[in-house]
Amino acid sequence: MNLTIIGTGFVGVVTAAVYASFGNEVIGLDIDEDKVAKLKKSKVPFYEPGLEELLKEQQQTGNLVFTTDYQEAIKNAEVIMIAVGTPSAPDGQADLRYVFASLESLAPHLAEEAIVVIKSTVPPGTLEKAREIIGQRTKVKFHLASVPEFLKEGSAVEDTLHPDRVVIGATHETVFAKLEKLHQPLKAPVVKVKPESAQMAKYAANAYLATRITFINQIADLCEKNGADIEEIVAAISPDQRIGAHYWYPGFGYGGSCFPKDVKELAAYSRSIGEGDNMFNKINDLNEDRIPRLLESFEGELDGWKDKTVAVLGLSFKPNTDDMRESPATKVIPILLSKGAKVQSYDPLANWQEFHRLENLENNHQQMKTIEDALQGAEVMMSLVEWPQIIGFDFAQAKTNQLKWFIDARNQFDPEALKKAGYHYLGLGRTS
């Protein structure tokens, strides 16, 4: 099948490479010439395990090419997938300007019976606007569909190859048939629904998982006060088949490019259609307040942050990615600095200076190359992300007289072993 993917961000590049690997002729289109030039040389502008290898392999077979030229990319495409960014607008709703701009640009070049699929996360009602935008610019017969993306960063290639389900939102049997055929090699259950349902399903899935994380964080906070242990509670409730064991890890709140944005968007969307304030707003507030609140309670335990050297381990929002969007570190480090602490950070991949390249660098923060360097002279150590390099490190061995406090933001370490090594251990909702 001739397939064009518009937008070579995270979702676009992974989708292009995976669909090419099924023998489709795929064109990846982006208006960013720099990005396309790099992709032509198989260089991915972000880290994702296995992606560069797959990209190179598919480019060598000739199944996958990249371009900035709309005419070249659209004229023979049977299916066009839009995977451009939908950042949040100031009022919290999805800003659809890039989706609409790509629809305007593709419309004049569409082939007869082409299917335009929106993969970007968009609110219900977007396909009507898409129909209007394209209809004003072409006379050919075209179709629209919504196929939301559920991949996770850090395992995006695997998730795309082995999804739990494929959700296809369309209105015509011929469109369902063609998109089902395209997704057949994935051997995943296909859920055929109305476009509005597909769009809401994406918001519902992300908002549910964000709610679940917020819920377990709240239970962990209660445990702090009553002597119960959150890890024991998770073990006690997970065997209930209605509940299950996934997405049950307490922490400093959810981050990344999707959960925070999608929860806020769902809240704003709800207000925009007259449904008023709702639980999504509250979930967002709880998540945003979490880090300042936790740091304040730790501050009491260790007698103030002022003049303390803190080793902050883990800068990305989760392991196996260099993505720092809404990561705990981006909230923790500025608070520590504002309270007069000195920060020595470490991450196996993420680069603080690159992320903050437009801002002034703080004098009191230095990113170190190794965990040992970050711990040098530190009084407090804080593990924010469950990178294997961090959770596999021998902190008992690294204990010094100066290094007293161990903050375990993901409950990844054995409190007893660390206490035995002489640390004052602070986890989340764990009896200490």
- Exposed / middle / buried, residue 205 (Cβ in 10 Å: 0-12, 13-18, 19+): middle
With respect to ligand UDX, which residue has the nearer C-beta, 251 or 429? 251
Euclidean distance between CA atoms 179 and 157, whole angstroms: 20
405 is an interface residue for ligand UDX by CB under 6 A: no
Q: Which stretch binds ligand UDX (CB under 6 A): 110-118, 256-264, 350-358, 394-402?
A: 256-264
Q: Which is nearer to ligand UDX, 83 or 103 (CB)?
A: 83
Q: Are 267 and 282 in contact (CB under 8 A)?
A: no
Question: Is residue 342 near ligand UDX by the rule CB under 6 A?
Answer: no
DSSP string, 173-211: HHHHHHHHHHHGGG---EEEE-HHHHHHHHHHHHHHHHH
Q: Alpha-carbon distance 165 to 187, whole Å?
A: 9
Q: What is the CA radius of gyration of the chain?
A: 24
For the bound state, the minimum distance from the C-beta of residue 78 to ligand UDX, rounded and expressed in Å, comes to 25
The single residue among 40, 43, 152, 419 that binds ligand UDX, judged by CB under 6 A, is: 152
In the list 68, 247, 282, 349, the residue contacting ligand UDX (rule: CB under 6 A) is 247
Question: Which is the catalytic residue, given 258, 267, 312, 371?
Answer: 258
Q: Is 387 a residue that touches ligand UDX (CB under 6 A)?
A: no
Q: Is 22 in the site for ligand UDX (CB under 6 A)?
A: no
- Please identify the residue of the shown chain whose CB is closest to the bound ligand UDX: 258
- 429 is a contact residue toward ligand UDX (CB under 6 A): no
Output the smallest distance, CB 155 to ligand UDX, in A: 8
With beta carbons less than 8 A apart as the criterion, state whether 337 and 343 touch.
Answer: yes
- Determine contact, residues 425/408, Cβ cutoff 8 Å: yes
**Residue at 188: amino acid letter:** A
- Determine, following the binding rule CB under 6 A, whether residue 261 of this chain makes contact with ligand UDX: no
168 has which bridge partners? 192
8-state DSSP, 124: T
CB of 152 to ligand UDX, least distance (A): 4
Number of H helices, E strands in the chain: 18, 14
Binding span for ligand UDX by CB under 6 A among 39-47, 88-96, 232-240, 245-253: 245-253
| Residue 413 interacts with ligand UDX (CB under 6 A): yes or no | no
Number of other residues whose CB lies within 10 A of the CB of residue 377: 13
Long-range contacts of 285-290 (CB under 8 A, 24+ apart): 286/214, 286/217, 286/218, 286/253, 287/210, 287/214, 287/253, 287/254, 287/260, 287/263, 288/253, 290/217, 290/252, 290/253
The yes or no reply on residue 258 touching ligand UDX (CB under 6 A) is yes
Helix %, strand %, coil % of the chain (to 5): 45, 15, 40
Query: Whole-number minimum distance, CB 213 to ligand UDX, in Å?
Result: 4
Pick one of 142, 249, 395, 406: the residue that binds ligand UDX (CB under 6 A).
Answer: 249
Which of 19, 142, 203, 259 touches ligand UDX by CB under 6 A?
A: 259
Residue 153 found at the interface with ligand UDX (CB under 6 A): yes
Closest CA to 268 of 205, 201, 207: 207
Q: Is 248 in the site for ligand UDX (CB under 6 A)?
A: yes
The verdict on whether 258 is a catalytic residue reads yes
Is 255 near ligand UDX (CB under 6 A)? yes
Q: Does 344 bind ligand UDX (CB under 6 A)?
A: no
Counting contacts by CB under 6 A, is residue 150 touching ligand UDX?
yes
Q: What kind and span of H or E run contains 80?
A: strand 79-82
3 state SS of 299: helix
Q: Is 169 in the site for ligand UDX (CB under 6 A)?
A: no
Stretch that binds ligand UDX, among 101-109, 143-151, 193-201, 368-376 (CB under 6 A): 143-151
Site for ligand UDX in 299-318 (CB under 6 A): 317-318
* Positions 40 through 79 that interact with ligand UDX (CB under 6 A): none
Burial 218-230 (b: 16+ CB within 10 A, else e): ebbbebbeeebbb
**Beta-carbon neighbour count of residue 333 at 10 Å?**
25
Site for ligand UDX in 189-208 (CB under 6 A): 206
**Span interacting with ligand UDX, options 147-155, 236-244, 356-364, 398-406, rule CB under 6 A:** 147-155
Instruction: Give the binding-site size for ligand UDX (rule: CB under 6 A).
Output: 19
Task: Pick one of 7, 251, 348, 415: the residue that binds ligand UDX (CB under 6 A).
Answer: 251
Instruction: Tell me if 260 contacts ligand UDX by CB under 6 A.
Output: no
Helix (H, G, I), strand (E, B) or coil at 283: helix
Sheet holding 405-408, edge to edge: 365-367, 342-346, 309-313, 380-383, 405-408, 424-426
Contacts with ligand UDX, residue ranges (CB under 6 A): 149-153, 206, 209, 213, 247-249, 251, 254-256, 258-259, 317-318
Q: Which residues are known to be catalytic?
A: 258
